[in-house]
Amino acid sequence: MVGRLSNGPPLTFLEGLTCPRSAMADRLPCCILVEAPDEVRLRRHLERDGDTHRDLWLDSRSTASQAFTADATRVRADLRVNGDPDIAHDQESEVVLLDSIATKQTWPFEEPR
């Protein structure tokens, strides 16, 4: 399922392990969880930051996974986005959604196609 970004108000994205915590849920208008396989995330991390923090990233993977599970991040997410999609889409204006959870809250997206 592909969702298209609408021409709505400006958005501010908070990114990082602690951003979607349930303790913050009442302060955020929505939670968008981008999921990708570990090997894809590691490759992107190394391309972006180089090899200097490789061990730190590898060590933190299990901590992040445990935190997301304990805090039910996937369940609470308003949108779950495929961070490594294999279908054609416009990367500038579209995202590939992982499942029908998008019906829960679609702002700032138009109806999925």
Gap between the Cα atoms of 107 and 76, Å rounded: 15
Evaluate whether residue 109 is within a structural domain: no
Task: Please tell me the total count of domains within the chain.
Answer: 1
Whole-number CA gyration radius for the chain? 15
Whole domain around residue 42: which residue ranges? 2-103
Evaluate whether residue 112 is within a structural domain: no
Evaluate whether residue 75 is within a structural domain: yes
Gap between the Cα atoms of 22 and 24, Å rounded: 5
Evaluate whether residue 108 is within a structural domain: no
Does residue 77 or residue 20 have the better pLDDT? 77
Q: Considering the entire predicted model, what is its pTM? A: 0.71
Predicted confidence at residue 3, as pLDDT, reads 56
Task: Tell me the pLDDT tens digit for each residue of 62-90.
Answer: 888 888 888 888 888 888 889 999 888 88
Evaluate whether residue 94 is within a structural domain: yes
Gap between the Cα atoms of 111 and 102, Å rounded: 9
